[in-house]
Structure 1
């Protein structure tokens, strides 16, 4: 398959996997606390990656380790906790739309920290995207007054972490395999996650609670596919495509996530939909590097 064909295949698979991850987080929170969901995602993913990618870590040289550690915490440690905490107050569909800020923040991070030049059209895209974010959050708070939309900030912080990670991978880590990078990421974050999981009392209560056991099943699916497999696939995509193209999985991902949310009884107003469309319009413009 050509490089171009691989790019679109990877993007399609990631859309399917990550578009379903928000509803899986929601289901996991039925029997588990946000900290348990976040920690379990990391621990399960780490064990899976170590079983298939431990030998690949031999590719990692001394100069890589600093960036792998930073990359791991930005993209794989904090976001699982932030998303789980956010979805205790914000619907899964809304969380997926806010996640669409990743390409915009990728552009901003590339410009501010990595010296990547931007066009006026891309700058307009960033501005439009953040206008859409304000519409989505403010109108969502009106439409769902029982939800605390301040928790949306946690999702925005996660997208900033993803954005920095994409640029780090593209600039410093393209000379080693995606599996080596991902396994190295989790080598740094698995022990802190285990400490957090232990501190929640998970191991003392899980065997006596059917609700917790069912939620653990959801986290297992989320970890193996939504985190482990998808992380490796995403790192592969970054290595053969531009950072902004790689993060464009957020175009179609919200559509699937919103459908899952509606099927699960969530509500989504027309003004929230408008805000989401404004965000995606901004993402489209930000992805367009054609000279004016």
Structure 2
């Protein structure tokens, strides 16, 4: 069981995170992207502080810079970028583009951490990028009313996630997974509160809006499962496996997200399916097999 536990983490994370894209889409019905990102961070911080606030005392001064950095790159900025992206592109497309995380983990690992890449991994990166271009181009033709330049917000987020997972593996490997998550949100919850106040969220017309309650319900589910619990599970997965294995949660997430998207009436064309397969082949090739 000990050797297989990483697969249990991977499958559970795939189900949770694969469902997060549709929750963001539903939350945007009653919240602006800035409000959604801020509310998500604040609620998640609240849930994490309940169970692990005392653990931040164990974080050493020298580790705090890495905790803050992984909080910003792994949660803070992507929370807003994904919300903005899904105002224009379907949740299923956002999830497929998110599968670039393993490829970008390879790229950043090579460029920043000097981790050598094999020819197979380089080939995987190029195939993944080819699939990405195809996906975006097909999306533009299939959904002419959507602004697919917003897809690049997701791509930027995938680079942030990839940087975060590399930093986590190289600098916070020994730290308890819950402690890392609590430290992350200790660093970003105050900026999130400032952002929420600046959006006018607490004005009467916003608080009395009939669409606010269902949006907040979606955010509670997303924050508790999609961010708080998943963040701890992911940190643990990075520690017991490799950064690339952990980021390969992106293999399974699109399957869950496309399922939810189709149920919600999103269009998903044949060539988008082909592009998705090409991206996942690229992600697969980017994995270094054990000899």
Q: Which residue of 2 aligns with 1:224?
A: 224
User: 1:106 & 1:23 partners in 2: Cα distance?
Assistant: 25
Q: Which moved more, 1:123-132 or 1:196-205?
A: 196-205
* Kept after mapping to 1: 8 A contact 2:136/2:148: yes
Q: Which residue of 2 aligns with 1:167?
A: 166
* Kept after mapping to 1: 8 A contact 2:201/2:207: no
- Give the match's secondary structure for 1:267: coil
Q: Which residue of 1 aligns with 2:207?
A: 207
Question: After the TM superposition, which parts of structure 1 deviate over 6 Å for at least 4 consecutive aligned residues?
Answer: none
Q: Which residue of 2 aligns with 1:57?
A: 56
Q: Which moved more, 1:85-94 or 1:54-63?
A: 54-63
1:142 to 2:141 alignment? yes
Cα distance, 1:55 vs. partner?
A: 1.3
User: 1:186 & 1:279 partners in 2: Cα distance?
Assistant: 32
User: 1:90 & 1:110 partners in 2: Cα distance?
Assistant: 29
User: 1:263 & 1:256 partners in 2: Cα distance?
Assistant: 11
* Kept after mapping to 2: 8 A contact 1:101/1:283: yes
Q: Which residue of 1 aligns with 2:101?
A: 102
The correspondence of residues 184-263 of structure 1 with structure 2, limited to 5 A, is: 184-204=183-203, 205-263=205-263
User: 1:289 & 1:115 partners in 2: Cα distance?
Assistant: 19
User: 1:269 & 1:33 partners in 2: Cα distance?
Assistant: 28
**Cα deviation per residue 1:32-60 (whole Å; 9 max; x = unaligned)?**
11111100000000111111111111221
User: 2:287 & 2:57 partners in 1: Cα distance?
Assistant: 35
Cα distance, 1:207 vs. partner?
A: 3.2
Gaps of 5+ in 2: none
Please report the TM-score for the alignment, with normalisation by the length of structure 2. Answer: 0.98
* Kept after mapping to 2: 8 A contact 1:29/1:37: yes
Q: Which residue of 2 aligns with 1:11?
A: 10
Cα distance, 1:247 vs. partner?
A: 0.3
1:264 to 2:264 alignment? yes
Gaps of 5+ in 1: none
* Kept after mapping to 2: 8 A contact 1:206/1:213: no
User: 1:85 & 1:273 partners in 2: Cα distance?
Assistant: 24
- Give the match's secondary structure for 1:32: coil
Cα distance, 1:206 vs. partner?
A: 4.1
**Cα deviation per residue 1:88-131 (whole Å; 9 max; x = unaligned)?**
00000000000000000001010110011111000000000000
**Cα deviation per residue 1:179-198 (whole Å; 9 max; x = unaligned)?**
11111111111111101111
User: 2:195 & 2:58 partners in 1: Cα distance?
Assistant: 30
* Kept after mapping to 2: 8 A contact 1:118/1:289: no
* Kept after mapping to 2: 8 A contact 1:122/1:289: no
